Amino acid sequence: MNRKQTSLVVDGALEEISALEYILLGDLLDLLDEADGDAAAWKWISKVLDTLLSAMPREFELQDEGGYLEEVLEEQPNWQGQVRDLYQERCELLRKLNQLRTRMRDSQPLQKMQQIASELRDELRDWITSYIAHQRHERRIVQDAFNSDFGVGD
């Protein structure tokens, strides 16, 4: 497989994972709204988190092929600090989601879960908000790298 074919396969796989992630995040928000003392909702939240935690590392692996935001650094080498900060933020978001999932798992059975349900629900909502903001920042830095004109003369 040549470089162009490999790129198309990676892009297709990334698109599929991103679509799945988008659906899962929407489902997670809906489930969090229904989660008050509902064992079934928490069971589904657990399954959604498991699926996210299996899909996200693969997504990150595909994004990092050739280097994380390498296309940005090729256009704007002096943005290395911003790219590094985004990479660290992405790693922290994955770690935080893992921690939330572990806390949820450790809070079984349901009686114990009800004690921290409100806290977990709020933290999961905050995580979703942070993750969406991170994705927007990634898209914005890519757009800015290719759309910036630094005093090109006529």
Reported for 62-67, long-range contacts at CB under 8 A and 24+ positions apart, including other chains, are 62/10, 62/13, 62/14, 62/17, 63/14, 65/10
- Distance of alpha carbon 72 from alpha carbon 70, whole angstroms: 5
Question: What is the residue whose two structure tokens read 């993750």?
Answer: 131
In 3D space, the residue among 33, 56, 60 whose CA is nearest the CA of residue 45 turns out to be 33
Residue 6 has pLDDT above 70, yes or no: no
**Segment 94-128, tens digit of pLDDT:** 999 999 999 888 876 656 666 778 888 899 999 99
> What's the predicted TM-score (pTM) here?
0.83
In 3D space, the residue among 30, 17, 28 whose CA is nearest the CA of residue 127 turns out to be 28
- Distance of alpha carbon 78 from alpha carbon 72, whole angstroms: 10
**Which domains, and CATH codes, for the chain?**
3-147 (1.20.120)
SS3 category, 150? coil
